Structure 1
Amino acid sequence: MSTSVPRRARRAARLPLAIAALLCAGSAVTVLQLSGAGAGAQTPAVCTTVSNPLGDATGWTEFIETDGTRGAESEGSIAYGGSFAGSGFTVGSHLPVSTPASTPTLVVAGSHGTFNLQRGSAYVNPQSGVNFNGGGSYLASNPVSFGPAFTYLRGKSAEWAGAAQTGTVTTVTSNPLPGGQVTLVLSGSNADLNVFNIAASDLGTKQVGIDVPQGSTVLVNVSGSAPAFQNNLLIKNQGNGNWDQASDSVVKPGQMTATGWPGILWNFPQATSLQINSGSAFAGTVLAPDAAVTVGSAGHTIGQMIAKSFVSGKETHFNLFPSSACLPGPPPPVGDSDVKITKTASDPSPHGGDLVTYTLLVENVGDSPATGVVVTDVLPAGVTFDSAQAPCTQASGTVTCNLGTLAAHASTTLWIKVVANPVAGAGPSSHPQAHHWLTPYKAEMQVDLQPGEQKSVTLSCNAGDILSDGHFRIDHVDQDTGTIGDDVTILSSQATGLGVGSWKGIIRNDADGRAQAKAFIVCLPKQTEAADRQTGYNDSHKHPLSVDPAPVTHTATYAAGSHTATLTCPTGTMPIAPGFDAPAGGVVLTGSEWSQGQPRDWVFSLSVSAPTTVTVSARCLRTTVGPVHGHTHDLKFSHVVETFTVPGHTAKEGDEFKVVCPDDAKGVVATWHLPPGLKHFGNDPRLKERAFRIFNDTGVAQQATLDLICLHDRTKTEGMGTDDPVVVPNTATVTSTSVDANPFNNSSTATITVLPGSSTTGTGGSGLVSGSTFSMKVVSSMPGKGALVVRGGGAVLAKGQVALRPGQASTARLQLTAAGKRQLAKLDKVSVSVDPTRGRTVTRSVQVRR
Structure 2
Amino acid sequence: MHNRSASARRTRRLSLAGAAALTAAVAATAIAFNAAGTAPVAQAATVTYDPLAPALDFNAFVENETELHSTESEGAMATGGNLVIRGSYNVNIHEVASFTAPGDARPSALVVGGRVDYSQDPATSVVQVHDYVKVGDLTGTSVLNTDNNNASVNTHLVASGSAYDSTPRIELNVQQPIASVGPTSPIDFDSAFAQLRENSQNLYVCDAYKVPMNDRDRPVVVPKGEVAPGQGIRISLQPGVTNILEVTGEDLNNMADLTFDTPPTADTPLLINVDTSGTGNEFDWDVATQAGISGNQAPYILWNFPDTTRLNIASGDTVEGSILAPNADYRNVSPTNVEGQVIAKNAKFGDLGQNGGEIHYFPFAAEFSCEDDTPTESPSDTTDAPTTDEETTPCETTDAPSSEEPTTGEPTTDAPTTEAPTTDAPTSDGPTTEQPTTDAPSSDTPSSDGPTTGGGSTTKGDCGPLASTGSSSTAPLLIAAGTLVAVGAGVVAVASIRRRSAKNS
Give the structure with the higher percent strand. 1
Normalising by the residue count of structure 2, what TM-score does the alignment of the two structures yield?
A: 0.47
Give the structure with the higher percent helix. 2
* Bigger RCO of structures 1 and 2 (CA < 8 A, at least 6 apart): 2
Normalising by the residue count of structure 1, what TM-score does the alignment of the two structures yield?
A: 0.29
